[in-house]
C-alpha cells in the first residue's frame, strides 16, 4: 500500500476520544481511520506520568503494527504526559489534542483571560495552562474541574435540566472571572457543548480541541503530502475499532456518538505490545 493510502491511528484511554474520531471523519472524509480505546485501563487521569507513557507506548506499537501513516492522541492526559517522549521514538507524525486546543484559545481571546474545564487530573496537571503560557506569556488561565460531566455524558443526559443545573454550579465562578474563551479540555465535553454554551453565554467562545486537532491533522498531512488522494471503496471498511476490554459497552456508546453504525470492536491484549 502506498504511504498516502495508509490509515491514521487514533487512540484514547476509553470512549471519549470518539469525539476526536468524529471530527476526523468530517475533516478528512477520504481517510481510513483506526481507533483504539484502552477500555481495560481507563481512566488515565489518575495514573502517573510513567504509567501513562508506558500505556501510550504500547498502543503506539500496536498502531504501528497496523501500518498507520500518522497517530492522533485523542486523550488529554496522554497528550500532556506522553507525547513529547514518544514523538522522539517514532518516524511518523504524532498529534495531540492539547496544542491545537491551546492555540485556538489564544487566538480566540481578546481580553487575555482563558478558561479551561476538564477532569480533575487535567486541571491539576496545568497542562493547558503551561502550554498557553508558552505561547502567550501574559495570558491569565483559570482552570475548573467538572467531575460529574463525564458520567452525565456517558448516561446520555446531553440535553437535560440536571446537566444544566450541574453546569451552572461548576461554571458560575468561571463566568465571574471575565474569561472570553473556554477550552473544553476533556474529550467528552463537546457532547454537552450546547448546554455549556447556554450557561456561559454568547460572549464566551467555546474552543473544541477535537475540532482543532482534526484541522491540525489535515494541515500536517497536506504539508507532508500524505493525504489520501482516493476515497475508500464502498466495499471496504474505512473505520476499524479496537478496545482492550468490554467491546459491547464500547459499541453502544460509539453508536450514540458517531454518525454511522459500528458493526463491532475487536478486543486485543494491549499488554502484549
Q: Is the CB of 148 or the CB of 227 nearer to a copy of itself?
A: 148
# residues contacting a copy of itself (CB under 8 A): 22
Q: Is the CB of 41 or the CB of 136 nearer to a copy of itself?
A: 41
Nearest to 260 by CA among 13, 29, 76, 16: 29
Q: Which of 33, 35, 36, 39 binds a copy of itself (CB under 8 A)?
A: 39
Question: CA 73, 42, 210, 131: dihedral to nearest 10 degrees?
Answer: -70
> Catalytic: 146?
no
**Per-residue 3-state assignment (H helix, E strand, C coil) for the chain:** CCHHHCCEEEEECCCCCHHHHHHHHHHCCCCCEEEEECCCCCCCCCCCHHHHHHHHHHHHHHHHHCCCCEEEECCHHHHHHCHHHHHCCCCCCEEECHHHHHHHHHHHCCCCEEEEEECHHHHHHCHHHHHHHHHCCCCEEEEEECCCHHHHHHCCCCCCHHHHHHHHHHHHHHHHCCCCEEEECCCCHHHHHHHHHHHHCCCCEEECHHHHHHHHHHHHHHHCCCCCCCCCCCCCCCEEEEECCCHHHHHHHHHHHCCCCCCCCEECCHHHC
Q: Least CB distance from residue 263 to a copy of itself, whole Å?
A: 21
Q: Which of 3, 26, 147, 194 binds a copy of itself (CB under 8 A)?
A: 147
Instruction: Please identify, among the stretches 34-42, 75-83, 92-100, 102-110, the one whose residues bind a copy of itself according to the rule CB under 8 A.
Output: 34-42
Q: Is the CB of 172 or the CB of 231 nearer to a copy of itself?
A: 172
Please report whether residue 155 would count as binding a copy of itself according to CB under 8 A: yes
Please report whether residue 245 would count as binding a copy of itself according to CB under 8 A: yes
Which one of 34, 42, 75, 141 is the catalytic residue? 75
Residues 106-125 that bind a copy of itself (CB under 8 A): 120
d(CA 243, CA 64): 16
Please report whether residue 47 would count as binding a copy of itself according to CB under 8 A: yes
Q: Is the CB of 29 or the CB of 147 nearer to a copy of itself?
A: 147
Q: Which of 26, 48, 107, 237 binds a copy of itself (CB under 8 A)?
A: 48
> Catalytic: 186?
yes
Q: Which of 42, 74, 75, 81 binds a copy of itself (CB under 8 A)?
A: 42
Q: Is the CB of 126 or the CB of 154 nearer to a copy of itself?
A: 154
Q: Least CB distance from residue 193 to a copy of itself, whole Å?
A: 20
Chain residues binding a copy of itself by CB under 8 A are: 39-42, 46-48, 51, 120, 147-148, 150-152, 154-155, 162, 165-166, 245-246, 249
Residues belonging to the active site: 75, 186
Amino acid at each position: 500500500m502506498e504511504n498516502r493510502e495508509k490509515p491514521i491511528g487514533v487512540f484514547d484511554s476509553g470512549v471519549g476520544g470518539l469525539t476526536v474520531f468524529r471530527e476526523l471523519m468530517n475533516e478528512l472524509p477520504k481517510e481510513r481511520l483506526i481507533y483504539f480505546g484502552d477500555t481495560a485501563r481507563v481512566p488515565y487521569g489518575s495514573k502517573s506520568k510513567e504509567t501513562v507513557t508506558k500505556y501510550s507506548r504500547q498502543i503506539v506499537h500496536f498502531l504501528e503494527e497496523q501500518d498507520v501513516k500518522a497517530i492522533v492522541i485523542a486523550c488529554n492526559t496522554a497528550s500532556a504526559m506522553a507525547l513529547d517522549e514518544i514523538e522522539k521514538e517514532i518516524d511518523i507524525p504524532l498529534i495531540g489534542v492539547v496544542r491545537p486546543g491551546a492555540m485556538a484559545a489564544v487566538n480566540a481571546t481578546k481580553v487575555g483571560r482563558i478558561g479551561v474545564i476538564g477532569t480533575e487530573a487535567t486541571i491539576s496537571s496545568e497542562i493547558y495552562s503551561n502550554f498557553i503560557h508558552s505561547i502567550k506569556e501574559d495570558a491569565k488561565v483559570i482552570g475548573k474541574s467538572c467531575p460529574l460531566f463525564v458520567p452525565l455524558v456517558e448516561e446520555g443526559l446531553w440535553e437535560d435540566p440536571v446537566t444544566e443545573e450541574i453546569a451552572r454550579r461548576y461554571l458560575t465562578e468561571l463566568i465571574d472571572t471575565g474569561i472570553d474563551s473556554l477550552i473544553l479540555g476533556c474529550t467528552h465535553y463537546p457532547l454537552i457543548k450546547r448546554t455549556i454554551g447556554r450557561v456561559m453565554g454568547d460572549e464566551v467562545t467555546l474552543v473544541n480541541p477535537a475540532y482543532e486537532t482534526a484541522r491540525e491533522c489535515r494541515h500536517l498531512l497536506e504539508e507532508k503530502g500524505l493525504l489520501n488522494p482516493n476515497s475508500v471503496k464502498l466495499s471496504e471498511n474505512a473505520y476499524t475499532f479496537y478496545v482492550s476490554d468490554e467491546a459491547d459497552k464500547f459499541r453502544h456508546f460509539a453508536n450514540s456518538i458517531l454518525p454511522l453504525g459500528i458493526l463491532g470492536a475487536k478486543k486485543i491484549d494491549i499488554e502484549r505490545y
